[in-house]
Amino acid sequence: MTKSEIAIDIQETLDRLFPETPVPLDHKDPYTLLIAVLLSAQCTDERVNQVTPDLFEQADNPFDMAKLDVDFIKSIIRPCGLSPRKSKAIYDLSHILIDKYDGEVPQDMALLEELPGVGHKTASVVMSQAFGVPAFPVDTHIHRLAYRWKLSNGKNVDQTEKDLKRIFPRDTWNKLHLQIIFFGRAFCPARGHNPYECPICSKYGRKTMFHEFDKKKKK
């Protein structure tokens, strides 16, 4: 099978298993999504969703957030990890949104990436899930699965994003990146993964996975 044929079959499998793809991070608008995605760096979505209700009760818009003390923000988001850096980024970007964009989150990838604490992946999530603009946010999980399924060479997340965008139709990107995340959590974890039982790896997985699994099984 060609890579395009494999991609079509993978997409059909994901559509069958995950027809609905709710955004894992609780939010109500582009700003609260932006903050939630920023907090999710090196933190689980579940933990973020436990923290953001308290934070957004204090401030769910840049105007109110800019009135808070950085240390106070830090005390709320501490469970998410990296709280000194994240709290300063939240405070600073809120001021920038007020000063430059009248308190609105810009609907532009480049402008989002200029905000403190906002990298390409975070900007991609906001563009795709808040504004509906086709983007393909690639986190470590998607990067891992794309390599396992031989859709990318695993060189880096930037290359993986380019490879996936080239393989899959543009109008599927926003849903597909969430489907891959959901699939990874349910069937294709980083550790303890049995490629023989995985609906996708069992058909298209790299041979090294099976060799490594067989070796561990023999021990």
Catalytic residue chosen out of the listed positions 60, 74, 86, 139: 139
List the structure tokens of 146.
């794309």
Q: How many secondary structure helices (H) and strands (E) does the chain include? A: 13, 0
Instruction: List all residues 6 or more positions away from 162 whose beta carbon is below 8 Å from its beta carbon.
Output: none
Write the CA distances from 199 to 97, 163, 184, 195, integer angstroms.
Answer: 44, 22, 11, 8
Question: How far from chain centre, in Å, is Cα 109?
Answer: 15
Catalytic residue chosen out of the listed positions 60, 74, 86, 121: 121
Whether 88 is catalytic: no
Instruction: List all residues 6 or more positions away from 46 whose beta carbon is below 8 Å from its beta carbon.
Output: none
Q: Is the dihedral of CA 163, 110, 23, 84 positive or negative?
A: positive
CA–CA gap between residue 114 and residue 105 (Å, rounded): 12
CA–CA gap between residue 112 and residue 107 (Å, rounded): 8
Whether 45 is catalytic: no
Catalytic residues: 121, 139
